[in-house]
Structure 1
Amino acid sequence: MKLYYSPGACSLSPHIALLEAGLPYDLVKVDLRAKKLENGDDFLKVNPKGQVPAVEFAPGHLVTEGPVIVQMIADKVADKNLVPAHGSAERYKLLEWLNYITTELHKNLGPQFAPVLADDAKAFFKDRAMGKFKYLETQLGDRDYLMGKQFSVADGYLFTMIMWATDRLGFDFSGLPNLLAYKARVAARPKVQEALKKEGLLKAA
C-alpha cells in the first residue's frame, strides 16, 4: 500500500488512519506545486487530479478522496473499531461527520492558503469556517471524540482541519475550550504523534 502525501496537507488524515489501523504502507512525498514526486516522476500520471491524498491499495487500484480512503483503511481492520459497522446507525453518523468536515470545514479553509486570494475574500471564508467550528464546539460537549468515547477516522480528519485553522491560519480558539481540549487529546495519541513526526511536523524526541 502506498500513501501519496504532502506534509501537513489533508493527506495527514489517512496517514493517521493507516497508523491507527496498524497496516503496512509506503510513504511517497508529493510536491503539489510542481506536481512531482521526490524522484522527479510526474504525479499527474499517478493521480490526474493532481491532489493528495491518494492511496494505492494494490497495483492499479488507486483511491483519491480522503473520506473514502479512511473508510477503506478502517474496514480492513474491523477489530480496531475505527469505523462503525456497515449499515448501522452509527456508521451513517460517521458518514455525516466526514461529509460535514469535507464540505463545511475543508472547503472553507482551503481557499485561505491561496496567495492570489484577496484579504476580504479570505476573511469571508475564515468567518464561515469559524461558524462551523462553533457548531462543533456545541456538539462535542464532554465527549472525548466525535463518536463518543471511541476514536474514529473522522477524528483524524477533524484534527487535521483544526491544525490548519490554529497552527497555520491563525484562528483564535480561545472561546472554544471543547475544541482545544479535543485537539490536545487527539494530538497526544501515540499514532498521531508518529504521523506528525514522519511528516516532519513534529521533531523527534
Structure 2
Amino acid sequence: MKLYFAPGACSLCPHIVLLEAGLTADIVQVNLKTHQLLDGSDYYAINPRGYVPLLQLDDGERITENAALVQYLADRAPDRGLLPPPGTLARTRVQEWLAFVGSELHKGFSPLFNPALPEEAKPIFKKKLSDRFQWVDQQLAGKSYLMGETFTVADAYLFVITSWSSRVGVDIASLENLAAHQARMRQRPAVRAALEAEGPH
C-alpha cells in the first residue's frame, strides 16, 4: 500500500490509524502547492482532485476521503478494536462522529485557510467553529475518548482537525475535556510516530 500525505494536512489521520492498526505502507509526500511528488511527478495523475489523503492498494485500487480510509484500515485489523463490528449501533456512532468531524469541523476550517477570505468574515467562521468545539467538549465530559474509554478511528480524526485551531486563531484553551483529549492523543505511540515521520505540524 501507499499512503499519500502532506505535512500539516488531514492525511495525518489515516497515517495514525495505519500505525494503530499495525499495518505497513509506503508514505509518499505530496507538495500541495505544486501538486507534485518529491520526485517531481504529477500528483494530479494519481488523484485528479489534487488533495490528500489517498491510499493506493497493492492491486492499484485507490481510496480517498478520511472517513472511508480509516474504516477500511480499521477493518484490515479487527483485532485492534479501532472500529466496532459492522451492523452494531456502536459502529454507527463512530460513523456519526466521523461524519460530524468531516462536515462540521474539517470543512469549517476551509474558509479560514482561504487567503481570499475578507477579514470581516473571519469572526463569523471562527464563532461557528468555537460553538462546535464547545459541543464536542461537552460530549467528552467524563470520557477519555469519544466512545468512552476505547480509542477509535474517530478520535484520530478529531485530534488532527482540532490541532488546526491555533493556526487560525480559534481559542480552545478553555475547553478542558477537549484539551485533555488532545494531550491524551499526543501520548499515544502511533500519534507520536506519525508526527515524527511527517515532520512539523
TM bin (shorter chain):
over 0.9
Aligned counterpart, 1:178: 177
Q: How big is the shift at 1:121? A: 2.2
Gap runs ≥5 in structure 1: none
SS of the equivalent of 2:164 reads helix
- Number of the residue aligned with 1:169: 168
Q: Which moved more, 1:3-12 or 1:118-127?
A: 118-127
Q: Is the 8 A contact 2:55 2:62 kept in 1?
A: yes
1:63 aligned residue: 63
CA contact (8 A) 2:4 2:29 kept: yes
TM-score of the aligned structures, taking structure 2 as reference length: 0.97
TM-aligned CA deviation for residue 119 of structure 1: 1.4
CA shift in 2, pair 1:59/1:38, >3 Å: farther
1:22-75 deviations in Å (ceiling 9; x for gaps): 101111100111111111111000001111000002232000111000000000
Secondary structure (helix, strand or coil) at the match of 2:163 reads: helix
Residue 148 of structure 1 is matched in structure 2 by 148
Out of 189-198 and 56-65, give the one that drifted further: 56-65
For 1:121 and 1:12, locate their aligned partners in 2 and report how far apart those are by CA, in whole Å: 28
Residues 2 and 27, structure 2, Cα contact 8 Å, conserved in 1: yes
Secondary structure of 1:4's counterpart equals strand
User: More displaced, 170-179 or 35-44?
Assistant: 170-179
Instruction: Give distance in 2, aligned partners of 1:93 and 1:186.
Output: 20
Q: Does 1:139 align with 2:119?
A: no
What is the root-mean-square deviation in Å for CA atoms of aligned residues?
1.0
CA distance in 1, matches of 2:173, 2:65: 32
Q: How many aligned residue pairs are there?
A: 201
2:78 aligned with 1:78: yes
Identity of aligned residues (%): 44
Other-structure match for 1:199: 198
Show the 5 A alignment for 1:21-32: 21-32=21-32
Q: Which moved more, 1:15-24 or 1:106-115?
A: 106-115
Distance 1:125 1:47 in 2: 29
Cα separation, 2, equivalents of 1:90 and 1:201: 34
Q: Which residue of 2 aligns with 1:108?
A: 108
How far 1:174 moved relative to its partner? 2.7
